[in-house]
Amino acid sequence: MNTSMIVAVVVLSCCALARADYLSDRKAAMELPNGGTNEAALALLIKMAEGPYTEFQKSDAWEQAAWCAWRLKRKDQAMELAKRIPLAPASKTLQMRLMDADRNWKGIVDTFKDESIHLWSEDVVCDAYFLRGQAYYRTGNGKGAEADLTQALEYNPNNAMAVNMLGDTYASLLKDDERAMEAYRRGYKSGGHWATDQILGVIRIRVRQNKLDEALAELNAVDADKNLVKGDPHWRRGFMLSTQGYILAKQGKKDEAIAKYREAAQVEGLAPAQKAEYEKTIKALETEPVRK
């Protein structure tokens, strides 16, 4: 065996050993009492982050340490640990996640508004665009939100939260009903977790536009079993019937609306809380003055 081959074998063996040590240490930290949220876990994670590991492993250790500090309610320490991550995009993305968890959306915008996120590594770029886009949305910057959320969806078209927030951006900040409905439809037709919110987003726009027939047509075109993955079949049926009742009430068809809500409340297997909500709406409609 020549010298170069011996060196290669030694290097690979050391890397494999380091990886094995890292994984065992990481597992040990996570298996400490309270799911890795105590002083011992934090100390072990920091020791790992300062150990003889790869930049990727160190980045992971610093991230776990930061979240450990966060769960210990040490926000400042969590942010300092996040800043020690050697991979800059991973460090900045974690800083944004921590600010987001603290609802410090202005801080995200102020700190990262000039970052060229498109140059970051693929493992964080989608999350980074979404986090900054959400921060723009929360601080009322419609154009910034539109730009970043659109980019997030370029990297991950199935990001249901990004789709939903893009629709909300068009609806509430940019006052563009057509693009808002386009975004909402893109979401619910893909059967994402936010589908009910997205259907209601379209319905609310149509109701505000006083296009109630279009609102009812939009709802009737929904395939509940295909588009509404959230909830069981009883929940889905209740949602569809109650939303029909909502539109009928807006049309002034009080008796028909009450009938739909009653049908919704009588769905077999409906959750008690959902049934109670429909019964409350029925009582409100029954006591509502007749429109002239």
pLDDT, one tens digit per residue, over 127-154 is: 999 999 999 999 999 999 999 999 999 9
Helix (DSSP H) and strand (DSSP E) numbers for the chain: 17, 0
| Inter-residue contact 35 to 50 (CB < 8 Å) | no
pLDDT at 191: 80
* Residue 291 falls inside a structural domain: no
Question: What SS3 state is found at 201?
Answer: helix
* Residue 146 falls inside a structural domain: no
* Residue 224 falls inside a structural domain: no
Q: Rounded CA gap, 97 and 124, in Å?
A: 11
Q: Rounded CA gap, 206 and 210, in Å?
A: 6
Question: What SS3 state is found at 15?
Answer: helix
Q: Which residues contact 231 (CB under 8 A, 6 or more apart)?
A: 239
* Residue 138 falls inside a structural domain: no
Q: What are phi and psi of 121, to 5 degrees?
A: -70, 150
Paired tokens of 220: 């009737």
| Inter-residue contact 167 to 201 (CB < 8 Å) | yes
pLDDT at 194: 86
* Residue 43 falls inside a structural domain: yes
Instruction: Give mean pLDDT in consecutive 10-residue pieces for the chain, a chain of 292 residues.
Output: 34 40 74 69 89 89 93 95 96 98 98 97 96 98 98 93 96 98 93 87 96 95 82 87 96 96 95 95 87 52
Residue identified by tokens 């969590």 is: 78
Structurally, the chain folds into a number of domains equal to 1
* Residue 244 falls inside a structural domain: no
pLDDT at 35: 59
Side-chain-facing half-sphere of 263: CA atoms under 13 Å = 15
Pick from 124, 31, 136, 145: nearest CA to 82 = 124
- Could you list the residue range(s) of the whole structural domain that residue 51 is in? 23-86
| Inter-residue contact 188 to 199 (CB < 8 Å) | yes
* Residue 181 falls inside a structural domain: no
Pick from 187, 170, 189, 188: nearest CA to 179 = 170
What radius of gyration, in Å, describes the C-alpha atoms of the chain? Answer: 26
Category of 51 on φ-ψ map: left (φ > 0), alpha (ψ -120 to 50) or beta: beta
Q: Rounded CA gap, 277 and 235, in Å?
A: 12
* Residue 230 falls inside a structural domain: no
pLDDT at 190: 86
